[in-house]
């Protein structure tokens, strides 16, 4: 697979602030990559350097085999979709989409054909003469997407593309964006702080933290095999646990060793439910129940840790204050910079298949 966008040993300072620290990234052609991290982690700085809006202090930005450090952003073959859409308020939808083509002095006949093609692509036919203020948030985002695509860029960059849109439309646009980029086979990079968004939309995720790249890979790889403690805690609904050696069958090797649990690592059973590993389960008390639509999040207190699990709405209900049985399948054990997935040894003893 050919790497189309490559960042090699990139460093960037803003006065005394080291925004990018020895950043190395490779994105294959036609892939949709997410730059994921908390606020201030350096993800937007990386995007802006690829776009040519910022220059790195050291290192190389390579696009399609060519070092572009000294090439203006306008000549890098890049389309940029801003978080705020940045549509021209006093221009119609048609003129917004046509803007980049007119800058390049494309003949009006070709512009008409291209705008018509893009309006069809974004399912906004008939909106040519409307102004941005007459569009919904989802429509404005689609028009911004079309405007970025109009000059046929080789790379599409999107900065928090769904941040300004309400939840329901955001879910629809996620699916739409993934379908569009797959159909167009255009190398795309988007910035987000929302892990659900990154996991659902991206082919590859690049996790940033404090200016560094912590890990990159497919959503499945990052979720199942986090390479650093930060990734393990940032991806998934992770809960740090104290004194995990008090959990039945788990041992702690060293004083500074800690652990992380995710809801899918835990099962909560109502007393009397038929469970294969009853000998390995422990008793806990339900402290909270949160309705999540298709399931219930059940929070229980176990060895002074408040841990979460999920129960289907089709299973027998449990109540706050009720004593339940809890079984922990596995947990992530963190020792300094090392992380390991540790399975409950009793699974082998009781021949339980997960």
Pinpoint the alpha helices (H) of 225-329.
229-234
Closest CA to 187 of 213, 149, 134: 149
pLDDT tens string 52-63? 999 999 999 999
Residue 251 is predicted with a pLDDT of 84
Task: Calculate the CA dihedral of residues 178, 122, 151, 114 and round it to 10 degrees.
Answer: 140
The residues with which 307 forms a beta bridge, in sequence order, are 300
Residue 44 is predicted with a pLDDT of 93
Rg for the chain (alpha carbons), in Å? 25
Distance CA 201, CA 198 (A): 5
Any idea where the domains of the chain sit in the sequence? 3-227, 239-353
Place of tokens 């841990």: 307
Q: What angle do CA 269, 273, 276 make, to 5 degrees?
A: 85
Distance CA 127, CA 105 (A): 24
Distance CA 70, CA 56 (A): 10
Low-confidence stretches of the chain (pLDDT beneath 70) = 1, 275-278, 349-354
Residue 249 is predicted with a pLDDT of 85
Q: Could you confirm whether domain 239-353 is CATH 2.40.50.140?
A: yes
Distance CA 206, CA 189 (A): 10
CATH number for the region 3-227 comes to 3.40.50.300
Indicate the SS3 state at residue 187.
Answer: strand
Place of tokens 């109502």: 270
Distance CA 100, CA 239 (A): 47
Residue 236 is predicted with a pLDDT of 87
């Amino acid at each position: 697979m050919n790497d189309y966008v490559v960042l090699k040993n990139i460093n960037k300072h803003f006065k005394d602030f080291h925004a990018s620290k020895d950043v190395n990234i490779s994105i294959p052609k036609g892939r949709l990559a997410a730059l994921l991290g908390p606020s201030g982690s350096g993800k937007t700085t990386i995007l802006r350097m690829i776009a040519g809006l910022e220059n790195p202090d050291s290192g190389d930005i390579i696009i399609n085999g060519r070092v572009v450090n000294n090439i203006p952003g306008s000549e890098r073959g890049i389309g940029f979709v801003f978080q705020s859409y940045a549509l021209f308020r006093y221009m119609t939808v048609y003129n917004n989409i046509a803007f980049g083509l007119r800058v390049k002095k494309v003949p009006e006949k070709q512009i008409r054909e291209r705008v018509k093609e893009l309006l069809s692509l974004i399912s906004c036919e008939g909106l040519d003469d409307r102004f941005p203020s007459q569009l919904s948030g989802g429509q404005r985002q689609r028009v911004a997407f079309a405007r970025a695509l109009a000059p046929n860029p080789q790379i599409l960059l999107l900065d928090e593309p769904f941040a300004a849109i309400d939840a329901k439309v955001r879910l629809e646009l996620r699916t739409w964006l993934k379908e569009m980029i797959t159909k167009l086979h255009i190398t795309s990079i988007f910035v987000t702080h929302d892990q659900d968004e990154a996991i659902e939309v991206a082919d590859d995720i690049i996790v940033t933290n404090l200016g560094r790249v912590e890990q990159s890979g497919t959503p499945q790889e990052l979720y199942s095999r986090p390479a650093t403690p930060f990734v393990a805690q940032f991806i998934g609904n992770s809960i740090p646990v104290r004194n995990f050696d008090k959990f039945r069958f788990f041992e702690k090797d060293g004083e500074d060793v800690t652990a992380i649990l995710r809801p899918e690592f835990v099962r909560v059973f109502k007393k009397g439910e038929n469970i294969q590993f009853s000998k390995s389960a422990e008793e806990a008390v339900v402290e909270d129940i949160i309705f999540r639509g298709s399931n219930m999040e059940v929070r229980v207190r176990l060895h002074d840790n408040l841990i979460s699990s999920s129960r289907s709405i089709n299973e027998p209900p449990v109540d706050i204050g009720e004593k339940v049985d809890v079984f922990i399948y596995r947990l992530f054990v963190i020792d300094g910079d090392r992380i390991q997935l540790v399975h409950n040894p009793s699974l082998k003893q009781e021949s339980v298949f997960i």
